[in-house]
Amino acid sequence: MSKKLLERLNKGPVICAEGFLFEIERRGYMSSGEFVPMVSLEHPEALETLHKDFQHAGSDIVESFTYNGHREKMKVIGKEELIEPLNRAALKIARKVADLKSTGPKPNLMAGNISNSNIWNDKDKKTHLQVEKMFNEMIGWAVDEGADILIGETFYYAEEAYAALKAMKESKLPCVITIAPMGENIMRDGVSILDTCKELEQRGGDVVGMNCFRGPNTMMPYLKEIRKSLKCHVAALPINFRTTKEHPTFFNLPDNNGCSCHTPHKTPFPTALDPMQCNRYEIGKFAKEAFDLGINYLGVCCGANPMLIREVAEAVGLKVPASQYRENMENHFMYGQDIPKHMKDYGDKA
């Protein structure tokens, strides 16, 4: 099968696992809140394992973990001198895993990655130049380390997304660009979600869509509009949390689980979101619905784990290496088929 992203998307679904920040933190190799991907230098084996786990679960794209590995964030933690080694290490690990033969006839694509800078200020042009410089250096390293495609993601300013796309396009590699509007349901510089996506298509985005911040419930309505209006391939990578109309993103998601008062409690973000996670079937349903709309670039962002990536792949008809370990309730000790009656009857009371 081709290593060309667009050829593959024209033929069917392409799966991309994201959400490295949350999953590496959950595995104990990153500090939450600070969220700097030092793992590529400090525990490269842990990052390689996560990539392999996602690959085993069906991810066609190995996205190098350089999210937040940009100059501004490195300055904040006082380790600016490590920015290039960190980026190159992450890219090399991604390249190595993408080149493994474990996916059989379906070679993986290695993606370089840039993302929201958090210093972009629509009222301060100086920040735009700073951000453009950050994008350019990261893209340079990605090209250098052999990226097959580039992913620009999680932009909540329309203009920052446009700047990212412009910088990515200079590489001549296929470009995926996904936006992540905050809870106001509009880009922070006042452009609508749909208009931002239309503009990204006009400006040459090969795949345009949404990732992060929103769970299936609050991303799907926008995806429907986007799919209807755009001709290019569309991307859908929600977070794995039950966001609602009142709380469209995971930033202010309340949780009153375990409390008898009926006032929603503000949840410490992002370290106490666990009870609001979607189950695998909700994620599978989302993927199937998006695919049926004609969205072929699918994945999960924050909250993703290998089992959910397998669920996305299988929901759109793919068989992946991890499908071998899909749930098999027939052999369950209480809910299975050929089990003693005294255990089967006990199932409802257990």
Q: Which residues bind Zn ion (CB under 5 A)?
A: 212, 301-302
What's the closest the beta carbon of residue 323 comes to Zn ion, in angstroms? 25
What's the closest the beta carbon of residue 212 comes to Zn ion, in angstroms? 3
Cβ proximity to Zn ion, 234 vs 237, nearer residue: 237
What's the closest the beta carbon of residue 18 comes to Zn ion, in angstroms? 6
Cβ proximity to Zn ion, 97 vs 301, nearer residue: 301
Cβ proximity to Zn ion, 103 vs 116, nearer residue: 116
Please tell me the distance from the alpha carbon of residue 142 to that of residue 134, in angstroms, as a whole number: 13
What's the closest the beta carbon of residue 47 comes to Zn ion, in angstroms? 17
H or E stretch covering 229? helix 216-229
Rounded to 10°, the helix 44-56/83-98 angle is 30
**Nearest 5 degrees, angle CA 97-CA 102-CA 103?**
95
What's the closest the beta carbon of residue 21 comes to Zn ion, in angstroms? 7
Cβ proximity to Zn ion, 98 vs 180, nearer residue: 180
What's the closest the beta carbon of residue 10 comes to Zn ion, in angstroms? 27
Please tell me the distance from the alpha carbon of residue 16 to that of residue 235, in angstroms, as a whole number: 10
Token digits for 146?
A: 């052999």
Please tell me the distance from the alpha carbon of residue 348 to that of residue 350, in angstroms, as a whole number: 6
Cβ proximity to Zn ion, 22 vs 135, nearer residue: 22
If you count DSSP H runs as helices and E runs as strands, how many of each does the chain have, helices first?
13, 8
DSSP SS3 for 162: helix
Closest CA to 137 of 228, 74, 60, 226: 74
Cβ proximity to Zn ion, 220 vs 334, nearer residue: 220
**Nearest 5 degrees, angle CA 273-CA 277-CA 283?**
150
